[in-house]
Homo-oligomer: A and B are copies of this chain.
Amino acid sequence: MAATSFQARNLGLATEVWSNMLGDEVTIFLGLAGAMVPAGMRSLVAYLIQHRLIDCLVSTGANLFHDLHESLGRPHRRGSATADDVKLRELQVNRIYDVYAPEEEIVASEDFITAFSEGLDAGRPYATREYFYLLGQKLSGVAKEEGILTSAAKAGVPIYCPAIADSVYGMAIATGRAKSGHRLLFDVVKDAMETLEIAVSAKGTGVIYIGGGVPKNFIQQTQVYGEILGRKLAGHRYAIQVTTDAPQWGGLSGSSFEEARSWGKVATEASAVTVYCEATVALPIMVSALAESCSDVIRQRKRPTFTMGERLGIR
């Protein structure tokens, strides 16, 4: 594929960059935006975690909610992108492009979150990383099929969700607070500091961005602020982004890795590739190519080990 051109070449090159990351001693961040779980990418992301093709996940709340939703045995239904949405509304069926999720089932999953969250300690704030670790453990006892949260809890892969209030999690926790007064707090600055710590502790870092948004920016900023923890960093050493956005719109989501170099987010000499392709097409191609050609590299790779208490341990 790298022998052709245009985006097929970029897809081939991105796979090579990922393969090189796995062979080097770097900590790999995955930024996950877009409705990847409703779109059927849950098992694939779980695979990345189980086999440690990534070391740390930063995600939108939505992907983590829909992962829990499927873990609780509530699948997303195949729908149509040209459905009659007023009719769907009447039927209480929520649409995500060409996927359906009945409202009643969403509510049941919300209730699960509300109940789980009320079991946590209102006396101290949580990093979202700790929250999702505990939730992953809880789900492991319930899930019918391995998902993102459950795999991550087992594999000790930290998950961050810096915009947690902007999701069903936020709303389910708000529901609990409104009903019982139980006031669960998140310490989102701690999230930011922990990702800094991960970056500063690593010999080097690699990043894979599926979409842009908060996950991309949150991972980008770890390279700019190493000094806070006493070590100036030089930018991510490997960088892949799979995006349907584009630089000309000026936003961070579509911004190029060239621009990122000016900030020191990506190293001057980094291996960096942008693949302009919707991720449900690109991601399975990359991962199956890696699974086929890099199985030894994957097994033998040196990777960080995390412990997930109130305080994140990194070795």
The chain A residues found within 8 Å of chain B, CB to CB, are 1, 3-9, 11, 33-35, 38-41, 62, 76, 78, 81-83, 85-86, 88-89, 93-99, 125, 162-167, 170-171, 173-175, 177-178, 183-189, 191-193, 196, 211, 213-214, 217-218, 221, 224-225, 228-229, 244-253, 255, 258-264, 268, 276-278, 280-282, 284-285
Cβ–Cβ contact A262 & B93, under 8 A: yes
Question: Distance (Å) between the CB of A130 and the closest chain B CB?
Answer: 15
Chain B's nearest CB lies how many Å from the CB of A3? 7
Cβ-defined contact, B96 with A259, below 8 A = yes
Which of A189, A214, A253 has the largest count of B CB atoms less than 10 A from its CB? A189
Cβ contacts under 8 Å, A268 to chain B: 86, 89
Contact in complex: A81, B247 (CB < 8 Å): yes
Q: Among B82, B251, B280, point to the contact of A34 (Cβ < 8 A).
A: B251
Contact partners of A165 in chain B: CB under 8 A: 162, 188-189, 191-192, 218
Chain B residues within an 8 Å CB radius of A95: 259, 262-263
| Copies of this chain present | 4
Q: Is the CB of B174 within 8 A of A196?
A: yes
The answer to whether B211 touches A214, judged by C-beta atoms less than 8 angstroms apart, is no
Q: How far is the CA of A83 from the CA of B229 in the complex (A)?
A: 31
Q: Which B-chain residue is minimally distant from A94 (CB atoms)? A: B263
Closest 5 CB pairs of A and B: A4-B40, A8-B280, A165-B188, A163-B163, A6-B250
Complex-state Cα separation, A172 to B276, whole angstroms: 33
Q: Which residue of B78, B228, B264 contacts A171 across the interface (Cβ within 8 Å)?
A: B228
Name the CB-closest residue of B to A169: B189
With A95-B259, A228-B174 known as contacts, the answer to whether A5 contacts B192 (CB < 8 A) is no
A189:B184 contact, CB within 8 angstroms: yes
Q: How far is it, in angstroms, between the C-alpha of A213 and the C-alpha of B216 when the chains are bound?
A: 12
On whether the beta carbons of A8 and B284 are closer than 8 Å, the reply is: yes
Given B34, B247, B251, which contacts A211 in the complex, CB threshold below 8 Å? B251
Cβ–Cβ contact B193 & A174, under 8 A:
yes
